[in-house]
Amino acid sequence: MYATIEDVKALLPGPITIGDTNIGTPTPGRPTSSNRSKVTPEEAIRYIRFAEDEIDSRLRPYYVCPLRRVKTFETEILEDVLTGTSVEVKVHDTGVFSSGQMVRLQGRQSMETDEIQSIKNLNTLIIKRVKNSYVMYESKISVLEFPDPIPLIAARLSVSYIYDQLFAAEQAPNTSEYGKEQRRLAMNSIDSILSGSVLLFGQDHTGKRFVRGSVFDAFQNPTPDFQFGREKT
């Protein structure tokens, strides 16, 4: 998925939660329904998939979709790493890493993809589960992620879908101002990619059979105006 449930949670307004029993504050005069009082993790994943479809449909003329995770950072492992759960990994600096991030552990004879459980201190991070052993200074740990700003775009679109669905459930207007603003920000970011001012790092381009499109100038959209009714800032 282009975004995680945690990414979506970070953009949702405070009263709205994913997976909890209470969502929002009851409004006088509006009916409440217990089966609509929360957004389950499964529903959040479905909305993230909808956001992926929207992103891929707009980027496919320029990039090979679906997009892929790429290695954005790599550093040496400073102590031996053994198999197990909640395994500590020593590195020079944990400032680039964050909880929930996908990482790749790679040695001379083995390689695996794992998830960061937490950051212990400036030099130690905790990996949820390690299936192989790695020797210090011969092994590396790298960050695997989708290029910026794809995770943020997917999270903004997912939040807009969730928020509008909740408003419709409460017999409010069909769309909320917060949902509209999140969609506007997401679409502006997509427009920046389409206009060539933002390049998706590590992705394959379409349109040239034998030459990578990145060796040419910024991509130009053949349509002079692609606002499609959206307000531009």
Q: Are residues 160 and 141 part of one domain?
A: no
Same domain (yes/no): 55, 153: yes
Domain shared by 155 and 62, yes or no:
yes
Q: Quick one: 84 and 195 in the same domain?
A: no
Q: Which of 118, 145, 172 is at the close of a domain?
A: 145
- Top pLDDT among 214 and 227 is at 214
Q: Give percent of the chain with pLDDT exceeding 70.
A: 76
What's the whole-number average pLDDT of the chain?
A: 83
Distance CA 125, CA 93 (A): 10
109: in domain: yes
pLDDT score at 24: 46
230 domain-assigned: no
CATH code, domain carrying 130: 2.40.10
pLDDT tens-digit map of 140-167: 999 999 999 999 999 999 999 988 887 7
Q: Is the dihedral of CA 224, 152, 216, 61 positive or negative?
A: negative
User: What are the tens digits of pLDDT across the range 74-115?
Assistant: 999 999 999 999 999 999 999 999 998 999 999 998 999 999
Per-residue confidence band for 69, with pLDDT thresholds at 50, 70 and 90: very high
Contact between residue 93 and residue 122 where contact means Cβ atoms under 8 Å apart: yes
Give yes or no: residues 153 and 61 share one domain. Answer: yes
Q: In this structure, which amino acid lies at residue 2?
A: Y
Q: Are residues 74 and 61 in the same domain?
A: no
CB 89 within 8 Å of CB 81 = yes
pLDDT at 165: 81
- Quick check: is 229 in a domain? no
Closest alpha carbon to 170 in 24, 5, 55? 24
- Entry pTM: 0.78
**By mean pLDDT, which of 6-20, 43-57, 93-107, 164-178 is the weakest?**
164-178
% of the chain exceeding 90 in pLDDT? 54
Residue 14 in domain = yes
pLDDT at 208 over 70: no
Chosen domain end from 145, 165, 189:
145
Q: Which of 123, 145, 167 is the last residue of a domain?
A: 145
The answer to whether the CB of 3 falls within 8 A of the CB of 47 is no
Average pLDDT over residues 5-21: 77
Domain total in the chain = 2
If asked whether residues 92 and 206 sit together in one domain, one would say no
- The reply to whether 138 falls in a domain is yes
Residue 77 shares a structural domain with residue 107: yes
In a domain, 222, yes or no: no
Same domain, 140 and 158: no
Q: pLDDT band at 210, cuts 50/70/90?
A: low
pLDDT at 217 over 70: no
Query: Do 95 and 31 sit in the same domain of this protein?
Result: no
Domain of residue 169: give its range. Answer: 5-67+148-215
The verdict on 133 and 156 lying in the same domain is no
- Predicted confidence (pLDDT) at residue 224 exceeds the cutoff of 80: no
**178 contact partners, CB below 8 Å, separation of at least 6:** 13, 160, 163
195 shares its domain with 133: no
CA dist list (Å): 201 to 36, 140, 147, 193: 39, 21, 6, 11
